[in-house]
Structure 1
Amino acid sequence: MKHVIACIDESRMANAVTQYATWSAKQLQTPLTLFHVLDEMRYPVNSDMTGNIGLGSRESLLEELAELDERRNKIALEHGHHLLEAAKNQAEEMGAEDVHVRQRHGDLAESLTALEDNLRLLVIGLHGAQTCDSDRLGHQIETIVRNIHRPILAVPPEYHAPTNVMLAFDGSDVSRKGVKMLAESPLFVGMPIHVVMVGAATADATASVEAAVSHLQEFRHKVSYEIRAGDVESTLHDIQQERNIDMLVMGAYSHSKLRQLFMGSTTSRVLSRSQIPVLLLR
């Protein structure tokens, strides 16, 4: 059975990630896995100190450094265990019934790729341990989005249970996939949906959006829509603020105007200023 997987680290993002992941797992009625990765650069499994020891240094110094490295890794493992147990307790207090914990050494993106076959939804923080108190994104977000071909929910530091959702629609295959997901997924049951197309309100654009709205209405969703000209980033942000939207759904790497959102600095600006969770589709 596929799991919701939540990336837990030592930052204050861990609480919100756990809460959004628990909400998602309950909505989807699927198991929840809380996942912590010890960065192999900070905590190597086998550390070779020989290159750092000059000629004539005592052999005992090598042994002391090796022992110090081993103790450091044990402390990191124990710390990760406590992080996961705290997150598990929090998830169970929120009503999650099937919660797993998992910890491993390695690179985060590579570790997640190895779990992709068992992944239904990945939940990550918009900010990492080193960026949580700034507007900068976590340094691994772009790599993860490019490597993982499953829906990714990138969440802000504060949790608010979603009650409505906005879909950034552009008529592409990815955005049509978003329509299908919104229509059929238990994640969005009972939520009003606002479909937004950024661009000129041509006849083709209007027909495309209305077809998406019609499909959503077939699944008994309450749907509204608009087509608005402007810059993609600022327009989506403005509409989110105007309508008090709780969650944004958009496609990654679509071959359209929205493609720019995932090709460099625009992506970082959209996500870094977001105060709501963003569900990225591939």
Structure 2
Amino acid sequence: MTTNVIACIDGSSHASAVCDCASWASLRLTSPLTFLHVQDKSQAAPDRDLSGSIGLGSQEHLLAALADLDAQRSKLAIEQGRLMLEAAQARALKSGVVATSLQRHGEFVETLVELEASTRLLILGRHGEDSASAYAHLGSHVEQAIRALHCPVLVTQGQFKAPKKIMLAFDGSATTRKSVTMLAESPLLAGLELHLVLIGADTAEHQEQLKWAGVLLNDAGIHTQSHIIPGEVEQALAAYQQQHDIDMIVMGAYGHSRIRQLLVGSTTNSMIRAARVPLLILR
């Protein structure tokens, strides 16, 4: 089955970044790009019978007016979604990408799960259109999508620029070794500068693990340098990203227990919330 880059478009401040990031990824992966807009049921006005609160005996008229208002809102939301998708396609075309569009009505995460079989990479904005700030709290849909899906998820925000320096948070575990293998087998980061960063003690075992990863990535055409840094994981990774002008962070979304899996992984979750650059989550 053909696998696509799926980019979720809404009215948030991150929509332009999602468009640009999706175009970049589509070209790097040579995969078709589809923009998706989901009119989520949870965003609809709650179904309430307000007629009894009026007390004027005009219940039928009021219910008819409310139904008509809901229909108008629904049509307007569909038209807004269509216009956003058209704008996204036009923006992608300027980058040389001919994208398709898809409009759905239903639960956002359920829709993503339905499309997962044909999704090579999912691209999301850090939060939805209900958030006012470009760096507002993490949208609940982002966390839910990462928990529910098994495909790679790229979370972007602000303005997107094609990355030159990438950081992979590596700890030598089976899950991060799998992340290394996934990157080596993908053209997404080929030719870029990748920093393998292990937070922990400078031991022979850690050096050997980094050597294995570095050889695999370099052989795949990803220019790699390795570093072992002491400190707390979240703080040390964030500091390294800022000090070395890292443009994108790559992390695994695995936990070591069923409870941690439900939480995505405590370090991954913290980095999603704190990162000021795109974050690629590998499953």
User: Is this a same-fold pair by TM over 0.5?
Assistant: yes
Q: Which amino acid aligns with 2:130?
A: Q
SS in 2 for 1:41: helix
Q: 1:189 Cα deviation (Å)?
A: 1.5
Q: Distance in 1 between matches of 2:233 and 2:20?
A: 29
Q: Distance in 2 between matches of 1:223 and 1:263?
A: 25
- Alpha carbons 2:253, 2:265 under 8 Å: kept: no
Change (3 A) 1:205 1:21: same
Task: Give yes or no for the alignment of 1:166 onto 2:164.
Answer: no
Count residues with an aligned counterpart: 275
- Alpha carbons 1:13, 1:132 under 8 Å: kept: no
State the Cα deviation string for residues 227-271 of structure 1 (Å, max 9, x = none).
111111111111111111111111002339xx698446x655422
Q: Distance in 2 between matches of 1:137 and 1:175?
A: 24
Q: Which amino acid aligns with 2:254?
A: Y
Q: 1:135 Cα deviation (Å)?
A: 3.2
Partner of 1:104: 104
Partner of 2:143: 142
- Alpha carbons 1:137, 1:268 under 8 Å: kept: no
Task: Give yes or no for the alignment of 1:278 onto 2:276.
Answer: no
- Alpha carbons 1:130, 1:138 under 8 Å: kept: no
- Alpha carbons 2:8, 2:124 under 8 Å: kept: yes
Q: Distance in 2 between matches of 1:210 and 1:273?
A: 29
Q: 1:79 Cα deviation (Å)?
A: 0.5
Q: 1:220 Cα deviation (Å)?
A: 3.3
SS in 1 for 2:43: coil
Change (3 A) 1:18 1:132: farther
Partner of 1:122: 122
- Alpha carbons 2:189, 2:222 under 8 Å: kept: no
Q: Distance in 2 between matches of 1:59 and 1:53?
A: 8
Q: Which amino acid aligns with 1:150?
A: C
State the Cα deviation string for residues 106-162 of structure 1 (Å, max 9, x = none).
111111001000000000011221225043111211111100100000012111111
Within 5 Å, give how 1:28-107 maps onto structure 2: 28-43=29-44, 49=48, 51-54=49-52, 56-97=57-98, 99-107=99-107
- Alpha carbons 2:121, 2:153 under 8 Å: kept: yes
Q: Distance in 1 between matches of 2:47 and 2:110?
A: 22
Q: Distance in 1 between matches of 2:218 and 2:271?
A: 29
- Alpha carbons 1:131, 1:137 under 8 Å: kept: no
SS in 2 for 1:127: coil
Given the two structures, how large is their TM-score scaled by the length of structure 1?
A: 0.91
Q: Distance in 1 between matches of 2:199 and 2:190?
A: 25
SS in 2 for 1:188: coil
Change (3 A) 1:13 1:270: same
Identity of aligned residues (%): 42
State the Cα deviation string for residues 163-216 of structure 1 (Å, max 9, x = none).
121111112222112211222211111101110111112222221111111111
- Alpha carbons 2:190, 2:221 under 8 Å: kept: no
Q: Distance in 2 between matches of 1:18 and 1:221?
A: 25
SS in 2 for 1:171: coil
Q: 1:43 Cα deviation (Å)?
A: 3.0
Change (3 A) 1:255 1:201: farther
- Alpha carbons 1:196, 1:225 under 8 Å: kept: yes
Structure 1 window deviating more from structure 2 (115-124 vs 189-198): it is: 189-198
Q: Which runs of 5+ in 1 are unaligned?
A: none
Q: Which runs of 5+ in 2 are unaligned?
A: none
Q: Which amino acid aligns with 1:201?
A: D
Q: Which amino acid aligns with 2:219?
A: E
Q: Distance in 1 between matches of 2:209 and 2:30?
A: 32
Q: Distance in 2 between matches of 1:69 and 1:131?
A: 23
